[in-house]
Structure 1
């Protein structure tokens, strides 16, 4: 019983430490907080579209949902604000290596060190997501249609859809 409660305390403490660090030393490009003050397992993040990208000026809201055994397993991230991106599926779920379960990739696409490791924090996740916005991975898309447009018509239809998402994100950012 003591080992289980110690493990729960360590997990609770890690999320609390991550949140405290982000509030004490904010990182440019995003902010994070609890959705409900009584639930450390569900966070809301606001991501500012990175400068010099198609997403510049956007304010994208997302939720991070932590598993009970965090940091041994990664949280799930889902955009609440509509976003058109090759590595975000049409439901808003983010698909990047850092959020994939630790260990070997059964498809052989990712190296274990590219996947989730317990040393990652909310800050490293958010930096990876901001990097993803700036430089999509078209080789491993979660949204095949967005990836196809990004490869074949980046400055046409893809750019128009992203611009629409940016405008919509600005209109709904603080609702």
Structure 2
């Protein structure tokens, strides 16, 4: 299990760095049950992110023992309506996909996970994704259709999820 102990050491350093880094406002992270492979994340979305601004979204990053060779999984625990987030909260974003050729041809290998990524780059990508979804292959088909065809209804649904996020435990 040498790989997993190396991963644990790397994750502990990355967590400490993120907790001490004041350059990334609006992101708070800590361990779930003192397990360095399970992080609890709180994204406090600033008002300059148009659609989701003011929201408080709780999420979880689950790292595999093979990290950083393989990506973690990210799942929102706070319900969030977005084209690139499955109904169960799982985030579908290129950098969280394993480093291999995309059999569907949507993504270049360079867009997918690589060991140079880290939790900070993942979370910054997710925040960026909130303001500019990829509707080419939506994880939430209804959200993708509304984003493309009915922006007023999409914004209404997002505003409701932002309001609900303030009450979510």
Name the TM-score class by shorter chain.
over 0.9
Measure the CA separation in 1 of the matches of 2:137 and 2:84: 7
CA offsets, 1:52-89, max 9 Å, x none? 41100000000111111111100000000010000001
User: Aligned pair 1:78/2:88, yes or no?
Assistant: no
**1:169 matched to which residue of 2?**
165
User: Aligned pair 1:160/2:156, yes or no?
Assistant: yes
User: Aligned pair 1:90/2:91, yes or no?
Assistant: no
Aligned residue pairs total 167
Contact 1:101 1:115 in 2 (8 A): yes
**2:14 matched to which residue of 1?**
18
Q: Any residues of structure 2 matched to 1:14-163 within 5 Å, and which?
A: 14-26=10-22, 27-37=24-34, 39-50=35-46, 51-154=48-151, 156-163=152-159
Does the residue aligned with 1:64 lie in a helix, a strand or coil? strand
Does the residue aligned with 1:40 lie in a helix, a strand or coil? strand
TM-score by length of 2: 0.95
Measure the CA separation in 1 of the matches of 2:26 and 2:95: 18
Shift in Å at residue 48 of structure 1?
Answer: 1.9
Unaligned runs of 5+ in 1: none
Shift in Å at residue 159 of structure 1?
Answer: 0.9
TM-score by length of 1: 0.92
Measure the CA separation in 2 of the matches of 1:77 and 1:41: 12
Does the residue aligned with 1:62 lie in a helix, a strand or coil? strand
> What's the RMSD between the two structures over aligned residues?
1.1
Unaligned runs of 5+ in 2: none
